[in-house]
Amino acid sequence: MKSELTAKFLQHLNSKKKDGGFTLIELLVVIIIIGILSAIALPSFLNQANKAKQSEAKTYVGSMNRAQQAFYLEKNAFVTAATDFGKLGLGVATQTSNYKYTTETGGADPVAIANLANTVVGNAPLKTYAGGVVVGNISATSEATTLAALCEADSAKSASGPDAAAASISFVKDTAPGCVTGFTAIK
């Protein structure tokens, strides 16, 4: 009796192997689930790629601000022309595949410089950045110092975001530069 039960069990297992595989419905359900998951993940992935590109501009403009402060400390002047950009000693290009980096004077009174990052492609989904350095005096000690700020556009260039220009930063004597409307200060 025991051998009959074993034989029937083995026959049952053999018949299951012949009918093995996935039905069309099961395959369609799996494909639909994969499609939904990729539709959710793709925009997030593309947004992360843009954030990485914008990180380049934040880093470069911040470095330009610090280099301008150091240059002013040594030479009592700012690097103003694109041809003199190498004097900052940053070792960065004035243009990358995403951004073009320039400087503009912030006016004679106060002595100031704007460091700018504008997108290379006009309708790119990237934000523009403006940094500013101004010479100020500490009223208590009458010592001269440099004050800096870094501003990020509120909206991306593709969403009619503003270009970065010297007008993107407000320069007031003896006060740290500030961001104008359309830009937000980055700490």
pLDDT in tens, 104-128: 887 665 588 999 999 987 667 899 9
- Beta-carbon contacts of 76 under 8 Å, excluding residues fewer than 6 positions away, are none
pLDDT in tens, 32-56: 999 999 888 888 887 888 888 899 9
DSSP string, 14-67: HHHHHT-S--HHHHHHHHHHHHHHHHHHHHHHHHHHHHHHHHHHHHHHHHHHHH
| CA-based radius of gyration for the chain | 30
Question: Using the 8-state DSSP alphabet, how is residue 53 labeled?
Answer: H
